[in-house]
Amino acid sequence: MKAVILCAGLGTRLRPYTENRAKPAIDFMSLPMLAYSLYPLEKLGIEQFLINTHHAPESVETTVKDLLPTDQFLLSHEPEILGSAGAIAKVKHHLLKSGPYIVSNGDTVNLFADNNPLEHLIERVQSKDEYASLLLMEHPEAGKSLSAAWLDQHGNICGFGKKSPVGNAKPFHFLGTIAFAERSLEDMPLKFSNTLTDVIMPAIDRGERVSGLIANEVINGETGNIHDYLTFQKVCADELSKNTPTGHYLRNVIQHYFPSFQWIDSVEAQRNNIPLTPGSRMGMHDTSQLTFGSSSHLTGTILIGPNCHLEINGSLENVSIMSRTEKKIETDMENCIIL
């Protein structure tokens, strides 16, 4: 089975941090966002990942090489961005005669209580001959402030947007992953196009069945701007600290790719001469090297990616330091990404 991972977006709302890094290459909880898409697909047994690029393609390539063996992925660069359906059309020849395939956003962070959340999604396409099945969750803002995928009384997709397309339809939040039957490849236009509006809705109109699978016990959050990114990172840090089922899943994701990850509270930090204030927490990798000045303090939620070399003389509060950062930090910094 194969999967298409969409990594060609511009990440404009997270600028300036995404000026030189594509958003899937931005670390979240000290791990590239791309890893959160790859992990459940690897557990599903995906044999090859087809990954599109556009903005800052070298950052995606470096990130993928950190996460996957080179024989397990192919990069598809788009000089002009093609959208989700156009991206699939561009790699269509790699997907033909391979059966159902999965398409997933490369910058979506989902934490599942179930380590194999996509099994039932692909089963619907394989065994029920559905055209596609979308992974969804209940969300209080779906169909209000958030655009929704609408399900009819039979659990089938009947529309997208903030307004119900038919009576008695229920709104759900789309989690960024779709399983497609192979026959859908014939409907993917090689131009800028969207899988939801330009492929799925026309298929429904001609009688194809597209279902929605509602994920239980899943945490999903926004990472599009720095405020939402830091807010959701704090939520995930709380889950990790409490070792909830979703926190356990998060730890498994991080340690699957970087076994050197450590989650440190203020008591553990004191034993290691790290100036972490009481009640704060810190995630880091033992591949990173840190030195601290006499007046430096770390407060709130601090995340440090792998392979960093840092001399910290200022105080940091609620910051996320990207992988491979080499920096001398002389000033106090708060509520930001450092790269």
Amino acid letter, residue 24: P
Query: Is position 304 within any domain?
Result: yes
Closest CA to 2 of 70, 104, 81, 84: 104
Query: Is position 105 within any domain?
Result: yes
Same domain, 141 and 11: yes
Query: Is position 239 within any domain?
Result: no
Helix (H) or strand (E) holding 126: helix 119-127
What is residue 115's predicted lDDT score, i.e. its pLDDT? 61
Longest CA–CA separation in the chain, Å: 69
Domain boundary residue, one of 220, 245, 276: 220
Same domain, 214 and 281: no
What is the tally of structural domains in the chain?
Answer: 2
By the 10 Å C-beta count (0-12 exposed, 13-18 middle, 19+ buried), 116 is classed as exposed
- The tens digit of pLDDT for each residue in 118-147 reads 999 999 999 888 999 999 999 999 999 999
Same domain, 15 and 108: yes
Same domain, 279 and 216: no
Query: Which residues are bridge partners to 157 per DSSP?
Result: 151
**In 136-285, alpha helices (H):** 201-205, 226-242, 245-257, 266-271
Mark the ranges of the chain whose per-residue pLDDT is less than 50: none
Q: Which residue has the tokens 């996509």?
A: 118
Tell me the CATH number at 191.
3.90.550.10
Same domain, 87 and 30: yes
Query: Is position 68 within any domain?
Result: yes
Query: Is position 240 within any domain?
Result: no
Query: Is position 228 within any domain?
Result: no
Same domain, 46 and 184: yes
Same domain, 148 and 201: yes
What is residue 167's predicted lDDT score, i.e. its pLDDT? 86
Query: Is position 273 within any domain?
Result: yes
Same domain, 89 and 178: yes
Tell me the CATH number at 330.
2.160.10
Q: Residue 184 sits in which domain range? A: 2-220
Beta carbons of 322 and 304 less than 8 angstroms apart: no
Same domain, 199 and 77: yes
- The tens digit of pLDDT for each residue in 52-106 reads 999 999 999 999 999 999 999 999 999 999 999 999 999 999 999 999 999 999 9
Query: Is position 81 within any domain?
Result: yes
The half-sphere exposure of 228 on its side-chain side, counting CA atoms within 13 A, is: 10
**In the chain, alpha helices (H):** 33-44, 57-67, 83-90, 92-95, 119-127, 201-205, 226-242, 245-257, 266-271
Rounded to 5 degrees, φ, ψ at 236 are -65, -35
